[in-house]
Amino acid sequence: MTDQAPSPENDIPGKPTSASRTTLSHIMTHNDTNLLGSVHGGVIMKLVDDAAGAVAGRHSGGPAVTASMDEMAFLEPVRVGDLVHVKAQVNWTGRTSMEVGVRVLAERWNESTPAQQVGSAYLVFAAVDADGKPRRVPPVLAETERDERRYQEAQIRRTHRLARRRAIMELREKRAAEGLDD
């Protein structure tokens, strides 16, 4: 497993994935529906952000703010009367940021059938101090092979996020230099 011992630049001891892992559960009601009668995607996204924010705050030991959400996938519709479970854990940490992976499961509130995965997402959080300035986060310590795989996949997503941001900035600079600033 990943054993990220404190380095000179990060003297904060690491925390295992289990230290901040959490599940948020909520029964969906008519107040949560969209015009089609299923649960509105925005309601699910808020639950995802809430659970991920709790995990980020627990892992970092203080406030953390949502920096980005990507790869939000809705796999199945959620219905009124579904008991939704939002499971979240830290997948990867940088110096001041961390990626939180989230799985969304749903089951009928009054049945004993297994919960079905209905969504997933990856969010990046930045740990901040009382002044809103970035602060260091502990390294995440993988405890299982699954945690190790999630850590490696998160590194790939981070590389892609940074490359996408860089490509967009280069394109904007090029367009501005050509007088096409829009």
pLDDT, residue 180, reads: 85
Its pTM stands at 0.89
Q: Amino acid identity of 41? A: G
pLDDT, residue 11, reads: 80
Cβ atoms of 42 and 36 within 8 Å: the answer is no
Per-residue pLDDT of the chain (182 residues; tens, 9 = 90+): 544 444 445 588 999 999 999 999 999 999 999 999 999 999 999 999 999 999 999 999 999 999 999 889 999 999 999 999 999 999 999 999 999 999 999 999 898 889 999 999 999 999 999 999 999 999 999 999 999 999 999 999 999 999 999 999 999 999 999 988 76
Q: Which residues contact 94 (CB under 8 A, 6 or more apart)?
A: 137, 158
Antiparallel, parallel or unpaired: β 82-93 and 22-27: antiparallel
pLDDT, residue 7, reads: 46
pLDDT, residue 1, reads: 54
Compute how many other C-beta atoms are within 10 angstroms of the C-beta atom of residue 175: 12
